Amino acid sequence: MSILCLLLVIASPASVTALTYQGTTQIKGTVLDPNEAVIYGAQITFRDKGRTTRAHSNERGVFEIDLPPGIHEVEIAVPGFKRLVVTNLEVIIGMTEELKFHLEPQLPTFCPPITGGQDERIEKVHSPLSERIKPRKIQ
């Protein structure tokens, strides 16, 4: 009976090939800043032929995700850092390489100072103390 089962598997290589291509590979990676410090809470998005898969980096900056083989686009986003996009990342069955992604800090945007005029976000408050003190004329 076992010889018959072995012959059936050998006789149908298409079914074995289909099972191989439907498998996934576990991808491990680390998200770091330029000084090699880990980045917690980064959202890592993998895109492949209309499929989107997401992961988040943990407190050690590490993420793990299962992906099908093929060519993927990777996008990494986290507040305070520039968004990173990597195209043409090839995932193959049995891939064991750990990926490392380095993000650049996002510089704060400049806020122009408030000049002249009345701004409704600023409330002027008069205290009784400031009204009682009168400036003196210095001679």
> What per-residue confidence (pLDDT) applies to 11?
39
pTM over 0.95: no
Structure-block tokens of residue 20: 């191989």
> What per-residue confidence (pLDDT) applies to 114?
59
User: Stretch 33-45: mean pLDDT, rounded?
Assistant: 97
Share of the chain above pLDDT 70, in %: 63
128, 60 Cβ separation under 8 angstroms: no
User: Stretch 21-35: mean pLDDT, rounded?
Assistant: 88
83, 76 Cβ separation under 8 angstroms: yes
**Lowest model confidence (mean pLDDT) among 10-19, 24-33, 49-58, 59-68:** 10-19
At 94, is the pLDDT very low, low, confident or very high (cuts 50, 70, 90)?
Answer: confident
72, 51 Cβ separation under 8 angstroms: no
> What per-residue confidence (pLDDT) applies to 131?
55
Structure-block tokens of residue 14: 């298409």
User: Stretch 104-112: mean pLDDT, rounded?
Assistant: 79
Give the C-alpha distances (Å, rounded to integers) separating 90 from 19, 46, 48, 93.
Answer: 19, 11, 10, 10
> What per-residue confidence (pLDDT) applies to 47?
96
* Opening angle at CA 78, ends 73 and 83, nearest 5: 45
94: left (phi over 0), alpha (psi -120 to 50) or beta: left
Share of the chain above pLDDT 90, in %: 52
Structure-block tokens of residue 16: 């074995």
